[in-house]
Each structure stands twice: as structure tokens, then as C-alpha cells.
Amino acid sequence: MKPERKRSLSIAGHRTSVSLEDPFWDALKQIAATEERTIAALIAEVDSKRDATNLSSALRLHVLAHYKRLAGDA
């Protein structure tokens, strides 16, 4: 698997960077498109709901939960 790719974005008015592997970035784009919103809006929602988990981990867990729901495993 390729190394993580870091991307900078703005969430709730502050700049941050997130490091994820390309398959997770691709999955987030697909999820956002399915939900008819921007990837930034999706990331902001995940950010607002996470606890002490870092944002990159929270995003990976969100992708996993999404596809588990689609597979009927959640």
C-alpha cells in the first residue's frame, strides 16, 4: 500500500492537515458524492462527532462503519 497522503483543509474556520492512504481518500470522496455533499462537509461532520480519537483515525473508522453498514454487518 502506498504511504499516507497529507492534505490540508479548513474545518470550522481553522486550518488542519489530515494524513490518510489513497484508498481512504477515495472512499471519503465516494461517500461524500453519494450523500451529495462536499468531502470537506463530510470531514467536518466526522470531526464534530469524534471523541479523543485523532481525526485521521476517526475518518478511517467512519469509512469502515459506512461500508460495514452497506454490507449489512453493522
Give the pLDDT confidence score for residue 21 in this predicted structure. 95
From first to last of the 74 residues of the chain, give the pLDDT tens digit.
Answer: 567 889 998 888 889 899 999 999 999 999 999 999 999 999 999 999 998 889 999 999 999 999 999 998 76
pTM of the model: 0.89
CA 66 to chain centroid, in Å, comes to 10
Q: Which domains does the chain have, with CATH numbers?
A: 5-71 (1.10.3990.20)
Q: What is the pLDDT of residue 60?
A: 96
DSSP string, the chain: -PPPEEEEEEETTEEEEEEE-HHHHHHHHHHHHHTTS-HHHHHHHHHHH--SS-HHHHHHHHHHHHHHHHHT--
The whole-number pLDDT of residue 41 equals 93
